[in-house]
Structure 1
Amino acid sequence: MYNTVEILGSAREAAWLPWAVQYFFLIGTSAAAFFLTLPGLVFGRARWSRVSRQALLVALVCGLTAPVALLSDLHQPGRFLNFYLHPNLRSWMAWGSFFIPLYVAGLLLYAWLCLRPQLAALARAERGVRLAAVYRALAYGGHDNRAAVRLAAVVTALGAVLILLYTGVEVMVIQARALWNTPLVPPLLAATAFAGALGMTALFAAAMRQFDTAPLLTRWIAGSQWLVLALLAAWLASGVAGWSSAAAEVLDAVNGSAGWAMTFAWLVGSSLLTLWLASRSPRRLLLAAVLALHGAWAFRWILFMGGQAIPKMGAAFRTYALTATPDGLLGIVGTAGLFLAIYIGLTSFIQWDEPAGSEGASS
């Protein structure tokens, strides 16, 4: 007697490509970095002055690069305009099209208000007539209006919270992907966003040789890794104990997969290594920064690209292969190039290694 076993597999191209990974990484890092600007630039805490200035630079560079990655993922501007022409207010993705302009506009206003005194000082110090005129026009009097800074900070904080909320929930609500359909996705994205923001801020500080900020930054990097590890442990426990049907489905689907076992071990191992370096070697700013950034980006790659590889039905994994195309490796390189160009432009125009007190923040 013969038994027939039929194995079904559904293979389809990934809908969310590396552009999406870049966007979620950059916009999350920007929103989280904005909150790191508040202690030094709004509340006037002297020990945060240098960190907050570097965080403002991170928020600007990532915040200006992220929408370009999003438009590239949509492949044509018309798709983005369709969110406004035909809004579907029951969709979190549609709501995101309103949250992004709110956050970016608020961030630009907030940054301008914080930097006005420095722009005025640069206008007075600049010998070239044309560049001095540009600084003077941008300073618009150069007044240090703390009330305006606080108001802009409130608006931007609202936009940043909405960014962190919508980017997590729009992934969580997709029931067809078991790895995404869990309430722990939004807090995991937010926690790794703060880890990435701290790592990027530390990287910028190291590039400007502000190693005096290392103890503060590494302490916060260590704290972010504890939070990420706790959330990962909670997700794993919810799947093993059966509290989350989606997490249990993922664990069942990847059971016996050496690739997924190595992926999870890599993610946890990199977080543990970052935690160890940040805790035991607080002066090693650069290495801890790079590892924190790696963990934030790797989590999004595993979540989005790996989540689409797990089959909805059947037993066939759909492994994504990174190709040297605009939708693949070239897209990642192009986003990095735009990021670098904005960074060079901003750091060439303004000195970001000045303390926050230069903008009038109290010490």
Structure 2
Amino acid sequence: MQIIELLTPAYEVAWLPWAVQYFFLAGVATGAALLAAACVFAPAGSRLAQLTPVVVFTLAVAAIAAPVSLLADLHQPARFWHFYAHFTPWSWMSIGALLLPTFVTLSLALCASWWLGRPGWMRLVAPLLVLSALSIVVYTGAEVMVVRARPLWNTAWLPVNLALTGWLAAIGVMFIVERFLPAALRPQDGALQLLRGVTLALASALVLATLSWATLGLVTRAPSLMAAARLWSDFPVWRIGMVLSALGGVAVLAVLWAGRTRIGCPYYRVALGLLLAGSAWAFRWALFMSVQGVPKFGAGLYLYSMPLGGGGLLGIVGVAGLCVALVALASWALELFPARQVRSA
């Protein structure tokens, strides 16, 4: 019997868990921004207009927390300055250094306009916010899609999946933070049913996009699908993860379907929100962290153990704590300084 010993070197990952938090919060922020713009132009008293407080609430929290995660992922504060001092228009990260501050500014401007009761200002900001949100969707998807060394990433379907899962996470976060709003600002059951309908539409679009990626990949032998097939056949850990992802998607659809009569229950909404947000976060963890465990060339797995410090578990807990703190601060501020009633201009 011949024994062959394989040695796997320890490589540092290029994407730290901070990236997972950033792409998750960016998806939440863009989803909230697009829905906020729709709420701005909704007729007063309509079901869509009733969602404005919870949508603005979610937008403010995600728009503040997302850049914090990005700055942490850059490792060194000087790297952020280099994007401006040495602008490279062929780099999506450099372009994003211009797009992201614009998006955060417009998001906070819309939130402040709502708080001050300025519908005219909101209608001026909303179209610009839509364009800015779409630019963030393109930039965050493209900066990952352009990595040709990772065929699983190098597909036009990746930005689509990131966008749809991010928007589903945005609605999930809304179902959670709605419980922290003052009673007068909470949407009624009709508005919550509308939000559930939007969730069903987005979930259906995600299923359709996934099936289209698989079908076209089989027909054209796309490298992205071939990479996924290799992960399935060669790496049992990934096989388990893919099965769990499929089961998670079925669970989301089942819970959504059951919500036709349960949307009025706050515990159901919180459970649905956690399921939506958790699924989107897990998708990004597999996409950014698990993929890096697969070698670009050769066989085997790169060994990665998540550190307990700021570059790992503590960072994840820290971002979650920041979001909780922002929600608590905004809730406290709404109690002390209630938002003015927004009326049609």
1:328, distance to aligned residue in structure 2 (A)? 0.4
Match of 2:271 in 1: 287
Alpha-carbon distance in structure 2 between the residues aligned to 1:252 and 1:225: 27
Query: 2:98 matched to which residue of 1?
Result: 98
Please tell me the residue identity of whatever aligns with 2:142: V
The CA distance in 2 between the partners of 1:226 and 1:7, in whole Å, is: 44
Cα deviation, residue 149, structure 1 = 1.8
Aligned counterpart, 2:14 = 15
Farther off after superposition, 201-210 or 62-71: 201-210
| Amino acid across the alignment from 1:159 | S
1:337 aligns with 2:310: no
The one of 153, 158, 170 equivalent to 2:143 is 170
User: Which residue in the other structure is 1:59 paired with?
Assistant: 59
In structure 1, the partner of 2:174 is: 201
Query: How far 1:7 sits from its partner (Å)?
Result: 7.6
Give the RMSD, CA atoms, in angstroms.
Answer: 2.6
- Report if the CA contact (8 A) 1:110-1:153 is conserved: yes
- Kept in 1, the 8 Å contact 2:42–2:49? The answer is no
Instruction: Provide the residue aligned with 2:227 in structure 1.
Output: 249
For 1:163 and 1:275, how far apart are their aligned partners in 2?
27
Describe the SS at the equivalent of 1:359.
Answer: coil
1:207 to partner: Cα distance = 4.2
Report matched runs for 1:1-363 at 5 Å.
11-44=10-43, 46-117=46-117, 144-146=118-120, 148-208=121-181, 210=186, 212=189, 213-282=191-260, 283=263, 284-351=268-335, 358-361=341-344
User: How many Å separate the matches in 1 of 2:31 and 2:70?
Assistant: 18
Task: Give 1:244 deviation, angstroms.
Answer: 1.0
The alignment partner of 1:311 has SS state of coil
Structure 1 residues 7, 233: closer, same or farther in 2, change over 3 A? Answer: farther
Partners of 1:304 and 1:53 lie apart in 2 by 33
Structure 1 residues 37, 15: CA separation in 2 closer, same or farther (over 3 Å shift)? same
CA deviation after TM superposition for structure 1 residue 336, in Å: 1.0
Quick check: 1:238–1:248 contact (8 Å CA) kept in 2? Answer: no
Shift of 1:267: 1.4
TM-score (norm 1): 0.84
Deviation (angstroms), 1:9 = 6.1
Q: Which runs of 5+ in 2 are unaligned?
A: none
Q: Deviations over 1:87-123 (max 9, x none)?
A: 1110011100000011011111111122213xxxxxx
1: CA distance, partners of 2:105 / 2:63: 10
Distance 1:177 1:160, change over 3 A: same
- Counterpart residue identity of residue 345, structure 1: L
- Give TM-score, length-normalised by structure 2: 0.88
What letter corresponds to residue 233 of structure 1 in structure 2?
Answer: L
Give the CA deviation at 1:257. 2.5
8 Å contact from structure 2 (residues 71, 77) kept in 1? yes
Q: Unaligned stretches of 5+ in structure 1?
A: 118-143
Letter in 2 for 1:217: L
Q: In the alignment, is the contact (CA less than 8 A) between 1:18 and 1:332 conserved in 2? A: yes
> Residue by residue, what CA displacement relative to the aligned partner does 1:126-156 show, whole Å, maximum 9, x if unpaired?
xxxxxxxxxxxxxxxxxx352x321211221
Give the conservation status (yes or no) of the 8 Å contact 1:92–1:169. yes
